[in-house]
A and B are shown apart, each in its own frame.
Chain A
Amino acid sequence: MESQNVIQVQSLTKKFGDFTAVDAISFEVKKGEIFGFLGANGAGKTTAMKMLIGISMPTSGEAIVAGFDVYKNRDNIKRNIGYMSQKFALYDDLTVKENITFFGGIYGLKKNQIKEKTTQLINDLALQEVANKLVGSLPLGWKQKIAFSVALLHNPKIVFLDEPTGGVDPITRRQFWEMIYQTANTGTTIFVTTHYMDEAEYCNRVSIMVNGKIEALDTPKKLKEKYNATNMNDVFLKLARSPSLTLPKGNGTHTEN
């Protein structure tokens, strides 16, 4: 059972001065699972994710990601995961092909592998006509699909997706989730954050962070039963509160930018 867990987190904590951004969270994610990581703005999602992808050192607690320790083996984590966010995905002033070559190089792929992957990606996404166009000239929905494929170039065990579909039109948003399903079916684990609550329903399991803690973690179905809600939006509204005056615990500090 344990060997099937590609992410294993125990009491993971991150403090900034006297502010606890991530407060002793524990959970595990299985191979091939689509894991939704939800929470209000400022709840600590991005801070937690930064520790898991090896770019922020935890204050305390333990985490093993793709088989590697977040304290000792951070470089190995980076080689074995993919990452894509809405804010940063691809270089706008490189062409589609150049981006693939660039990221393939970063991920340590050999020349012939990059060539092979480029052809495959361009065929899969039907990008023949725009392969030599600057990424900046493409619609956002296309960029996001390419960015997702690029994050998978090196066959990572886990892909972290930080609000991948924000602002994307509804049809493309659904096509994007189709890609997520296909990827998960091949055994790649998906760790995704989103503010679209209908997308939370597409996850195998969902965790909801409130003020640095994981307040709930289960399948969407069980969460709805537990909180007597008709959909995930209701569950979220019942659980998650943004840091504001009404919440004595939240002090509104934003550590994500």
Chain B
Amino acid sequence: MGIKAQNISKSFKNVTALKNISFDVKEGELFGLIGPDGAGKSTLFRILTTLLFADKGNATVAGFDVVEDYKNIRKNVGYMPGRFSLYQDLTVEENLEFYATIFGTTIEENYDLIKEIYIQIEPFKKRRAGKLSGGMKQKLALSCALIHKPKVLFLDEPTTGVDPVSRKEFWEMLKRLQQKGITILVSTPYMDEAELCDRIALIQHGKIMQIDTPQEIINHYPKNIYNISAENMHNLIECLNEYEHNYSVYPFGENVHYTDKRDLFNSQELYDFLQSKNLKDVEINNTIPTIEDVFMELTK
């Protein structure tokens, strides 16, 4: 009864935005669509929230068909688009009041659901939405999307451009909403957020490349991955790129994630090679792949 999408395709003129997308979100699940800008995430959201027709395929949300039953879907879902649809010249309070009214409810009736989030912005309830910081706009937009107690919540890149502290807080809020029984479909370009979802779909160029729990997706990573560090990062990357057996070389923070072409990789040999290039403080260690490693492998 969560979300069911079958063979959804959508093109705009000669651009194919979605190719044969199929996936299910179970009731009460926190499901993540993980992919960069232009992957097709927003188009998919607009089809599922009945704002756009698919060219092919069908979908249901909360048990309602996105075409036949669009009115029921609109009553039963909350949608937070990438660009927050807040009225900039209404105050915080007025925005919330407005959304409650158009859904035929009141702030009081569902206050329990939004309390934890709204309480953080309540001191600024007389301030116009346009004058809020990004993090506060995000909280107000979420409150507005929740005020009619939706069964399914759609969040399109709610954390894009948001700093790590606010992102962390936002995900904690999502977890609590999930515990209240709300099904959540959330999209993000931040791969580190993927592991906070129950299941994820990795999406690129309008295609779903993989669907599974974050842990299973990581387990299926086909190669052994090594963390390599050295005093000079830039030289290290150049040397690794020169190394004839390299399969992939990607900087990851203070380390480089390295995979080798050969099945039997000899770390001593690579160590010696890097030493011969005069790199200092070389360290090579086995490491666990991240969702970002998987994503790069799939799009390589």
B63-71, B127-135, B266-274: which lies at the A interface? B127-135
Judge whether B165 and A240 touch: CB under 8 Å.
Answer: yes
Which chain B positions have C-beta within 8 A of A256?
A: 133-134
State whether the Cβ of B209 lies closer than 8 Å to any Cβ in chain A. no
Chain B: number of interface residues, binned into ranges: 35 or more
Question: Which residue of chain B has the shortest Cβ distance to A178 in the bound complex?
Answer: B237
Judge whether B164 and A233 touch: CB under 8 Å.
Answer: yes
The answer to whether A167 and B160 touch (CB under 8 A), given A140-B36, A140-B38, A254-B136, is: yes
Which chain A positions have C-beta within 8 A of B136?
A: 42, 243-244, 252, 254
Bound: A242/B137 CA distance, A: 13
Judge whether B119 and A252 touch: CB under 8 Å.
Answer: no
Interface residues of A (CB under 8 A from B): 39-43, 86, 139-141, 163, 166-172, 174, 177-178, 181, 185, 195-198, 201-202, 220-221, 231-233, 236-237, 240-245, 251-254, 256-257
Which chain B positions have C-beta within 8 A of A174?
A: 250-251
Give B300 Cβ to nearest chain A Cβ, in Å.
Answer: 7
State whether the Cβ of B252 lies closer than 8 Å to any Cβ in chain A. yes
The answer to whether A231 and B296 touch (CB under 8 A), given A41-B163, A237-B164, is: no
Judge whether A202 and B166 touch: CB under 8 Å.
Answer: no
Interface residues of B (CB under 8 A from A): 35-39, 119-121, 123-124, 127, 130-137, 157, 160-169, 189-191, 204, 233-234, 237, 250-254, 292, 295-296, 299-300
A-B contact count (CB 8 A): 128
Judge whether B166 and A242 touch: CB under 8 Å.
Answer: yes
Question: Which residue of chain A has the shortest Cβ distance to B159 in the bound complex?
Answer: A195
| Between-chain CB contacts (< 8 Å), 27 pairs | A41-B134, A41-B135, A42-B134, A43-B163, A163-B161, A167-B189, A169-B36, A169-B295, A170-B296, A171-B296, A185-B234, A195-B162, A195-B163, A197-B164, A221-B254, A231-B253, A240-B164, A242-B165, A242-B166, A243-B133, A244-B135, A244-B136, A245-B119, A252-B127, A252-B132, A252-B136, A253-B131
The answer to whether A41 and B234 touch (CB under 8 A), given A171-B296, A197-B164, is: no
